[in-house]
Amino acid sequence: MLNWIEKKQSRGRYVFSLEELRKEFLNQSEDAITLALNRLSRKNRVVSVYKSFYLIVPPEYAVRIILPPMNFIDDLMSFIGKRYYVGLLSAAALYGAAHQRPQEFFVITTTKQFTTRKKGIKINYITRKKIPERLLDKRKTESGYVKVSSPELTAADLVYYQNRIGGLNRVCTVINELTESISLEKINEEFIDALYTPTIQRLGYILDRLADRTDLAQKLYEVTYRNNRKFFWQPFKAGGRRKGFDTDDKWKIIINTTIEIDE
């Protein structure tokens, strides 16, 4: 089995499924395959990151005992059979806007929400009903390509999933850095259609009042207006108190928290 794994690795393949292994070793019993996998696992040559799905650990990753998620997430999601994209802080980091290197890996997908921890890596799978394929970019990795949210979608997701990544202060800090990658041309009807109106309002307020990108904010406002979206009063901090705070009339935002953007 070790020779088979090393051949896969030499061809640039670092993943395999239990079913693939069974088909390759038809003359081996289930117990023999399990024993061989356990032996390779103890030697840190393979790691199971999902039921019946394994990673091959090449020598250069022997100390960490696992591949970076970017190197296997596309294969894993294909194995699970769910659409996905790398998002939130993981996507922001690829655009140079994570501020601090994220300790968790974020995947937006149509599967149920759950978290996995393997060999020091934490992967958060966050549920979204529909994956906006046209708002995704592709990134080359050592083992192929990975779907990643565009800078525009990344900013919107950071706002929508603010409680999953440490709150609004972190959201605003990351978006402030991310604005350098956001394109005016990509703030269009297609982008607006993928967002809930409260997310548009909060993102617009951040771009306008906190990130000092009035150009991006105004484009967002104009496209939203043309699409007949109506604004209703929203607390800036989702789920927070609504009474007794200053307001922003343009975006209809109740400013129920104080933001300090980290430089």
DSSP of 16-71: EEHHHHHHHTTTS-HHHHHHHHHHHHHTTSEEEEETTEEEE--GGGTTTTS--GGG
What is the tens place of the pLDDT at every residue in 39-89?
A: 999 988 999 999 999 999 888 777 777 788 999 999 999 999 999 999 999
Q: What is the pTM of this model?
A: 0.92
What is the tens place of the pLDDT at every residue in 202-250?
A: 999 999 999 999 999 999 999 999 999 999 999 999 988 999 999 999 9
Smallest CA-to-CA distance from 199 within 218, 179, 224 is with: 224
Query: Amino acid identity, residue 235?
Result: P
The pLDDT score that the predictor gives to residue 99 is 64
Which DSSP category does 169 fall into?
A: H
Give the separation between CA 96 and CA 109, rounded to whole angstroms.
23
Percentage of the chain lying above the pLDDT 70 cut: 97
Give the separation between CA 254 and CA 152, rounded to whole angstroms.
23
The pLDDT score that the predictor gives to residue 101 is 67
Cα 40 from chain centre: 30
What is the tens place of the pLDDT at every residue in 13-53?
A: 899 999 999 999 999 999 999 999 999 999 889 999 999 99
Measured CA distances, 187 to 78, 94, 150, 156, 179 (Å): 30, 20, 11, 11, 12
Percentage of the chain lying above the pLDDT 90 cut: 77
Q: Are strands 53-56 and 46-50 parallel, antiparallel or unpaired?
A: antiparallel
Give the separation between CA 16 and CA 21, rounded to whole angstroms.
7
Which DSSP category does 129 fall into?
A: S
Q: What average pLDDT does the chain have?
A: 92
Give the separation between CA 122 and CA 165, rounded to whole angstroms.
13
The pLDDT score that the predictor gives to residue 100 is 65
Mean pLDDT of 115-135: 91
Confidence of residue 120 (pLDDT cuts 50, 70, 90): confident
In order of their start, the domains of the chain are: 2-61 (1.10.10), 69-254 (3.30.460)
- For residue 157, the SS3 value is helix
